[in-house]
Chain A
């Protein structure tokens, strides 16, 4: 395999990690990473936080310096998009017509923001947040006293709201569901976050049905079905993402709300792997197909995909985890809470800035949300991954140390 080339489509967390892991696992041939953005793989989580605030600059976001990739012979083709895959000839075709052959192909095409299609959606000042260029645009519109309306009360919306408040903007969050974080957490957590945001001066409106964005060339007002209007100097829309699966689909690869991969991150073409936000995999722990949108999944799947390509298949069975920083709140989440049937709360959600929620299904812990509670997160993660049983009375009592609930002597995640 000395001269065989691996082409990686996508140069974000998954694509970058895949390239590095290939070298670490002994891939001898050329490695080419093709990315649409003009940047080497960079850390996306700071985009809605320290990059938005200006504390971090573009160079600070890079996961690794270019010198490191050069040293190990990883090449990049940036600012280029792949328009099709010829699986018979084993080559990818670029937008400008160039063809690049591959021995093995990895798809790490990620996801793109879901856009709004309402009257006025294309006015100036209507913004999204996914890439460096999105945030650079947002930064042109922000300043103390400006009015920002955030559409969508998910993590991106809340993190952005928190940072804009800290930059002294007037911030409103409009959520279509009956509560913020509706899709991802228990009502107790939503109430906790709504309370903190209100304490910080953010206006949160739930069950809002937006009908129109008004303004001449620039958005100036958000109009809702109930007749309410919200003045706006800028609107940031954070209503989720759509996986980039069209390239795979057109090449005849199996997709289902994501590029279908097995536990080795292989697609239904044995020369093609996929990793990250664009994939759908069967998760044995949760007993269903999942498409995850998080750094952990991007990195872990990339590592498994790389070992598969190097002929040393490894199973992907990591427990998903996430984090979100807002104000002085550090939220750490392990597992997925969907379809929980019992909740154990530790701490007081109605006051202060610290609490944890443990989610159970059929008597088994499946997820933990821990706010400013690192031990609840760390121990919760072990309980879930190792399938341990703990006394729920003790778990709900903040006076009982988390560490006393389990034996941390065994590696299990």
Chain B
């Protein structure tokens, strides 16, 4: 099962097995990582699952939709590597992915 590393804003590191077919958001929610809020449950509606994808992985993830890009521009402290974690589907190719979580989702 792919292992994803979540690094919280306070530096806490969680390495978590997330099944292929799930999402990076779901992996965090399942494991009670509270830096991801995910109010809308993964329908790209709330932008409360914002994360920063490690530079090494940025180009290995399919590009964001226009809707996601528009929302990302308005989150707190957006960066070029910002993504909504509900929109990143986990595949075996993402084994080892590292994401950093923002200090606030609001």
Contacts and interface: CB of A to CB of B under 8 A. Distances in A.
Contacts of B45: 323, 325, 330, 332
A43 interface: yes
Contacts of B71: 374-375, 378
A295 interface: yes
Nearest to A325: B43
B39 to A, nearest CB: 5
B92 interface: no
A374 B74 contact: yes
Interface residues of B, number: 23
Contact of B74 (A43, A46, A375, A412): A375
B56 interface: no
Nearest to B68: A374
Interface in B57-106: 67, 70-71, 73-76, 104, 106
Tell me which of A45, A63, A378, A382 has the highest count of chain B C-beta atoms within 10 A of its own C-beta.
A378
B75 A378 contact: yes
Interface in A212-246: none
Interface in A155-191: none
A321 interface: yes
B60 to A, nearest CB: 25
B32 interface: yes
Interface string A7-47: 00000000000001001100000000000000000010110
A117 B63 CA distance: 51
B13 to A, nearest CB: 17
Contacts of B73: 375, 403
B74 A295 contact: no
Contact of B70 (A24, A375, A412): A375
A413 interface: yes
A299 interface: yes
Contacts of A375: 70-71, 73-74
A253 interface: no
A323 B75 CA distance: 18
Contacts of A374: 47, 67, 70-71, 74
B10 interface: no
A20 B44 CA distance: 23
Nearest to A300: B39
B74 A24 contact: no
Interface in A265-315: 295-296, 299
A321 B74 contact: no
A60 B32 CA distance: 18
A65 B30 contact: yes
Contacts of A412: 106
Interface of B: 29-32, 34, 37, 39-41, 43-47, 67, 70-71, 73-76, 104, 106
11 contacts: A45-B40, A72-B32, A299-B39, A321-B46, A323-B43, A325-B43, A330-B44, A374-B67, A375-B71, A403-B74, A408-B74
Which are the 6 A-B pairs with shortest beta-carbon distances? A378-B74, A323-B45, A413-B106, A374-B70, A43-B41, A374-B71
Given A299-B37, A372-B67, 6 more contacts: A20-B32, A64-B30, A296-B46, A299-B39, A378-B71, A412-B106
